[in-house]
Chain A
Amino acid sequence: MLKKRNGLFAAFLGVALLVSGCAGSNSASSSADANTIKVGWFGPLTGPTATDGTLSRDAALLAVEQVNAAGGIGGKQVQLVTEDDQGKPEEALKAVQKLINSDKVVALVNGAYSGPAKTVAPKVQEAKIPMVVAYAVHPDITKGGDYVNRVIYTGDIQGKAMADYAVNDLKKKNIAVLYVNIDYGKSIYGAFKIEAEKLGAKVVIDKPFKMGDKDFSSLLTAIKAANPDALYVVGYYNEAAAIVQQAKEAGIGAQLLGVDGFDSPKYLELGKSNTEDSTFTTSFYTSDQRDIVQKFVKDYTAKYKSEPGMLASQSYDAAMVILEGMKKVGTDKEQLAKAINETKDFEGTSGKITFGADHEVIKPVIFMTIKDGKFRFVHSKVYN
């Protein structure tokens, strides 16, 4: 009796594991023929960063569908082949090798985080496949050659932009900084510190924190003692929401400043009314009145039943830059890489996109704030 029940339980366990395993496998693999052009996408579809990856894939898919609906590229339909990297560099490498070798994609949309993106970049250069990075900010990704471009600005630009805004516009002199202890946080904070000090402000205290930290009360007690007039938080919405809440609880009244990691509805959901007045830099806002943005917001909302955010916009633009290049020169990889590099004043959802000689994007930085529980546009400015 006992044995039988255990057998049943084991069977249940096995089936459940199988189901959860299958949920992670890739979705788009419909039959392909000579009349389709394959574009690869990879990013996290399972694991802790799956939400971001899914948003990115959805937006890239929308870009492809829109182009297909408008007649495709030279009469051919485009197919987006997606691979899950689980947020891990080694899985990303496998995904990219599969996309290049067995799917024979002509270009790649990089919907992954910095770690995986950095790992695959040399392989992609070597295989001479044009790749556009959607939202990974590590500086090394684009350094290896002419095949990798990036539609989001690197951390340096954001740090510089916020330093300019905090010191020149908000007249803040004593700034405290909390930064997430990964490339993203360190590179943005590094540039911020240099620029802020050049402009005559002082960083009175800086403390690193880790992704996944929840209790910031000790850090904030130390920050309160330093008595800053602004608190710059370089991190993502989960931690940022916890920090704004606990900063209020600790009685810190300093102006809260942030980065594009804040730009998610989750920030408002988790941080509630504590998010009020926090101001951050990003690259996209839904109330932008340009046609391209309004059409993107309308189509995205109709298809996915939620408003697109910065991540979706970045990924949509990354795909669009590739598709635009294909419209000009077709699917020859070398020509395509050249066409992508020569992108100039392309109307993207995140502003007019131009690539510099260093394969980095030149486009405006957007400042947003939170009023009455909603994101509000403040102003935008081009930095480089």
Chain B
Amino acid sequence: MLAQQLLNGVALGFHYVLIALGLTMVYGVLRLLHFAHGVIYMIGAFAAMIGILYLQLPFAVALLFAMVVSGIVGMSIERFAYRPLRGTHPITTLISGVGISIFLENVFQVMFTSDSRAFPETGITTSIITLTESITITNTKLYIIIAGVVCLGLLYGFLKLTKLGIAIQAAAQDIRAASLMGINVNRVVAVTFMLGSALAAVAGVLVAINFNSISPTMGALPGLKAFCVVVLGGLGSIRGTIVGGLLLGVVESLGDGFMTDLVIDKDAIAFVILILILLIRPSGLFGKHIEKV
């Protein structure tokens, strides 16, 4: 049973990692807490639903469509909600992000009602893969893990091997110095948002298939938890985010499976970890410098 719970936790963890990567990249480049990220995750799932249901796209194309839509929405949020405020107090941009997320969530509630709905047929039927006698995993969960690993690989390759990826890294080190070196910082920021949003869309779509349910508020809690993951791993550290996400997934699974009558519920575990990290090691597990809070 322990092994099964660990596996449950890893699948949950990769889901958090996929959402949190976008957050951490945005923080790395802009030093900005992007609170509208959870909404992007939701938009990804809805875009895939619209793609399959109304545009009759096959699933793989619908997933790409969702990534593109989310990428565009992410870039637009940066362009219209964050860029005009660049250089002002960080709280101002943070509030702007919160405002955008409330706005978009409500727009989707007006358009699609606040009810959960089933995710359309994708041609993927859920099946159970038996690993050992007592350990099983569904194929949809396996896809989340595979997608997590593949996206991480692609992201790593992109950041290390392409010119744009190196530009992002440069901007993350020092955005002003990067701009003085002739890097088009606005483009770097836009690409960062696009990539992060596309990753969130992948998470949104896969989770929607796994649970067969989407709703306009589906991004609220995962968005907040991703924020905890990012702080846990160290703001701006991609390695830290991966470790933090998996850690949170496993801790939640074990908490759910082995402890009854917890004083706090499962969702609160993330926030307790957040508080502990802020108290004990404010820079996070892999953070380089300590942020003043």
B103 touches A17 (CB 8 A): yes
Which single member of A48, A251, A270 contacts B136 (CB below 8 Å)? A251
- Closest residue of chain B to A238 (Cβ to Cβ) is B116
Which single member of A181, A251, A269 contacts B265 (CB below 8 Å)? A181
A53 shortest CB reach to chain B, Å: 11
Q: Which residues of B contact A238 (CB under 8 A)?
A: 116, 213
- Asked if A19 is at the interface (CB within 8 A of a chain B CB), the reply is yes
- Asked if A210 is at the interface (CB within 8 A of a chain B CB), the reply is yes
- Asked if B237 is at the interface (CB within 8 A of a chain A CB), the reply is no
Q: Bound complex: CA of A28 vs CA of B81, how far in Å?
A: 38
Q: Is the interface of B mostly helix, strand, loop or mixed?
A: helix
Q: Bound complex: CA of A270 vs CA of B115, how far in Å?
A: 11
- Closest residue of chain B to A21 (Cβ to Cβ) is B106
B257 touches A219 (CB 8 A): yes
Interface residues of B in 116-144 (CB under 8 A from A): 116-118, 126, 128, 136, 138, 141
- Closest residue of chain B to A206 (Cβ to Cβ) is B260
Interface residues of A in 1-16 (CB under 8 A from B): 2, 6, 9, 13, 16
Q: Bound complex: CA of A50 vs CA of B4, how far in Å?
A: 38
- Closest residue of chain A to B8 (Cβ to Cβ) is A217
Q: Which residues of A contact B254 (CB under 8 A)?
A: 218
Q: Is the interface of A mostly helix, strand, loop or mixed?
A: helix
B258 touches A222 (CB 8 A): yes
- Beyond A181-B265, A210-B265, A219-B256, whether A272 also contacts B118 by CB under 8 A is yes
Interface residues of B in 234-290 (CB under 8 A from A): 252-258, 260, 265-267
- Beyond A16-B103, A20-B106, A218-B253, whether A242 also contacts B221 by CB under 8 A is no
Q: Which residues of B contact A217 (CB under 8 A)?
A: 8, 11-12, 141, 253
B291 shortest CB reach to chain A, Å: 30
> Could you list which residues of chain A lie within 8 angstroms of chain B, going by C-beta atoms?
2, 6, 9, 13, 16-17, 19-20, 23, 46-48, 50-51, 181, 206-208, 210, 212-215, 217-219, 221-222, 225, 238, 241-242, 245, 249-251, 266, 269-272
B279 shortest CB reach to chain A, Å: 26
B278 shortest CB reach to chain A, Å: 24
- Beyond A217-B8, A272-B118, whether A6 also contacts B256 by CB under 8 A is no
Offer 19 A-B interface pairs, CB within 8 angstroms, sorted by A: A6-B80, A9-B80, A17-B103, A19-B110, A20-B107, A20-B110, A23-B110, A50-B115, A207-B260, A210-B266, A215-B8, A215-B12, A221-B1, A222-B1, A222-B258, A225-B1, A245-B212, A251-B136, A270-B117
Which single member of A16, A47, A210 contacts B107 (CB below 8 Å)? A16
Given contact pairs A51-B114, A249-B128, A251-B128, a sample of 5 additional A-B residue pairs in the complex whose CB atoms are under 8 Å apart = A20-B109, A218-B8, A241-B213, A245-B126, A272-B118
Q: Which residues of B contact A16 (CB under 8 A)?
A: 103, 107
- Beyond A23-B110, A249-B126, A251-B128, whether A270 also contacts B260 by CB under 8 A is no
Q: Which residues of A contact B213 (CB under 8 A)?
A: 214, 238, 241-242, 270
B217 touches A48 (CB 8 A): yes
A48 touches B265 (CB 8 A): no
A269 touches B257 (CB 8 A): no
A210 touches B267 (CB 8 A): yes
- Asked if B182 is at the interface (CB within 8 A of a chain A CB), the reply is no
A221 touches B265 (CB 8 A): no
> Could you list which residues of chain B lie within 8 angstroms of chain A, going by C-beta atoms?
1, 4-5, 8-9, 11-12, 80, 84, 103, 106-107, 109-110, 113-118, 126, 128, 136, 138, 141, 207, 211-213, 217, 221, 252-258, 260, 265-267
Which single member of B80, B115, B252, B253 contacts A51 (CB below 8 Å)? B115
Q: Which residues of A contact B116 (CB under 8 A)?
A: 238, 266, 270
Q: Bound complex: CA of A29 vs CA of B207, how far in Å?
A: 43
B212 touches A270 (CB 8 A): yes
- Closest residue of chain A to B140 (Cβ to Cβ) is A249
B118 touches A2 (CB 8 A): no
Q: Which residues of B contact A208 (CB under 8 A)?
A: 265
B118 shortest CB reach to chain A, Å: 5
B27 shortest CB reach to chain A, Å: 24
B34 shortest CB reach to chain A, Å: 18
Q: Which residues of B contact A250 (CB under 8 A)?
A: 136
Which single member of B106, B107, B256, B267 contacts A218 (CB below 8 Å)? B256
B114 touches A215 (CB 8 A): no
Q: Which residues of A contact B11 (CB under 8 A)?
A: 217
B114 touches A50 (CB 8 A): yes
B211 touches A214 (CB 8 A): yes
B81 shortest CB reach to chain A, Å: 9
Q: Bound complex: CA of A222 vs CA of B116, how far in Å?
A: 27
A221 touches B80 (CB 8 A): no
Minimum-distance CB pairs A-B, first 9:
A218-B256, A218-B257, A218-B253, A217-B8, A249-B138, A222-B257, A214-B211, A51-B115, A269-B118
Q: Which residues of B contact A47 (CB under 8 A)?
A: 114
- Closest residue of chain B to A214 (Cβ to Cβ) is B211
A49 shortest CB reach to chain B, Å: 8
B212 shortest CB reach to chain A, Å: 6
- Beyond A19-B110, A238-B213, whether A221 also contacts B5 by CB under 8 A is yes
- Beyond A221-B1, A241-B213, whether A13 also contacts B256 by CB under 8 A is no
Q: Bound complex: CA of A207 vs CA of B107, how far in Å?
A: 36
Q: Bound complex: CA of A17 vs CA of B1, how far in Å?
A: 49
Q: Which residues of A contact B113 (CB under 8 A)?
A: 50-51
A240 shortest CB reach to chain B, Å: 12
A358 shortest CB reach to chain B, Å: 31
A212 touches B221 (CB 8 A): yes
Q: Bound complex: CA of A181 vs CA of B266, how far in Å?
A: 12
- Closest residue of chain A to B111 (Cβ to Cβ) is A20
Q: Bound complex: CA of A17 vs CA of B110, how far in Å?
A: 10
